[in-house]
A and B are shown apart, each in its own frame.
Chain A
Amino acid sequence: MLLEAPFTEQKIRALKVGDMVEITGLLFTGRDAVHKYLHDGGKPPVDLTDSIVYHCGPVVVKENGKWVVKAAGPTTSIREEPYQGPLMEQYKIRGVIGKGGMGPKTLQYCQSVGAVYLHAIGGAAQVLAERVVAVEGVHLAEQFGSPEAIWEFRVERFPAVVTMDSHGGSLHAQVLAESTEKLARLLG
Chain B
Amino acid sequence: MDAKVLQNHLLELIRRTSAELPTDVVRAVQAGLRREKQGSSARYALQVIDDNIIMAKDKSQPLCQDTGTIICYADLPAWCSEGKFRKAYEWAVVEATRRGYLRQNSVDSITGKNSGDNLGPGSPQYHFHQTPKKALTVRMMLKGGGCENVGIQYSLPDTRLAAGRDLEGVRKCLLDAVLQAQGKGCGPGILGVCIGGDRGAGYVAAKEEFFRELDDTNEDPRLAKLEKRIMKEGNGLGIGPMGFGGETTLLGVKITHRNRLPASYFVSVAYMCWAFRRNGCVLTEGGKLSRWLYDS
Contact A179 B52 (CB under 8 A): no
Q: A99-B183, A126-B56, A183-B179 are in contact. Are A175 and B240 (CB under 8 A)?
A: yes
Query: Within 8 Å CB of B116, what residues of A?
Result: 145-146
B196 at the interface (CB under 8 A from A): no
Of B41, B184, B244, B274, which contacts A78 at CB under 8 A? Answer: B184
Query: Within 8 Å CB of B45, what residues of A?
Result: 121, 161
Using an 8 Å CB-CB cutoff, how does the interface string of B229-240 with A read, 1 for contact, 0 for none? 000010011111
A126 to B237, CA, bound (A): 30
Query: Within 8 Å CB of B61, what residues of A?
Result: 59, 70-71, 125-126, 129
Contact residues, A146-188 vs B (CB, 8 A): 146-148, 159, 161, 163, 171-172, 174-176, 178-180, 182-183, 186-187
Using an 8 Å CB-CB cutoff, how does the interface string of B161-195 with A read, 1 for contact, 0 for none? 00000000000100110010011101000000000
Query: Within 8 Å CB of A76, what residues of B?
Result: 145-146, 149, 184
A-B CB pair tally, cutoff 8 Å: 166
A61 to B67, CA, bound (A): 15
Of A123, A147, A171, A183, which contacts B64 at CB under 8 A? Answer: A123
Nearest-Cβ distance from residue B157 to partner chain A, whole angstroms:
15
B223 at the interface (CB under 8 A from A): no
A75 at the interface (CB under 8 A from B): yes
Contact residues, B84-129 vs A (CB, 8 A): 98-100, 102-105, 107, 112-114, 116
Nearest-Cβ distance from residue B28 to partner chain A, whole angstroms:
14
Using an 8 Å CB-CB cutoff, how does the interface string of A116-145 with B read, 1 for contact, 0 for none? 000101111111011000000000000001
Contact A175 B44 (CB under 8 A): no
Query: Within 8 Å CB of B44, what residues of A?
Result: 20, 161
Query: Within 8 Å CB of A121, what residues of B?
Result: 45, 48-49, 52, 242
How many B residues touch A, CB cutoff 8 Å?
Answer: 54
A76 to B144, CA, bound (A): 11
Nearest-Cβ distance from residue A73 to partner chain B, whole angstroms:
5
Of B104, B175, B184, which contacts A146 at CB under 8 A? Answer: B104
A30 at the interface (CB under 8 A from B): no
A61 to B242, CA, bound (A): 28
Query: Within 8 Å CB of B184, what residues of A?
Result: 76, 78, 99-101
A86 at the interface (CB under 8 A from B): no
B243: nearest chain-A partner, CB-CB: A175
Nearest-Cβ distance from residue B171 to partner chain A, whole angstroms:
9
A101 to B242, CA, bound (A): 9
> Can you list 12 contacts pairing A with B, beta carbon distance less than 8 Å?
A18-B41, A68-B100, A70-B61, A71-B63, A71-B65, A71-B103, A123-B144, A145-B107, A147-B114, A175-B244, A180-B179, A186-B175
List the interface of chain B (C-beta within 8 A of A). 41, 44-45, 48-49, 51-52, 55-56, 59, 61-67, 98-100, 102-105, 107, 112-114, 116, 144-146, 149, 172, 175-176, 179, 182-184, 186, 233, 236-240, 242-245, 273-275
* 4 additional contacts (CB under 8 A) given A71-B63, A126-B56: A127-B52, A148-B114, A175-B245, A186-B237
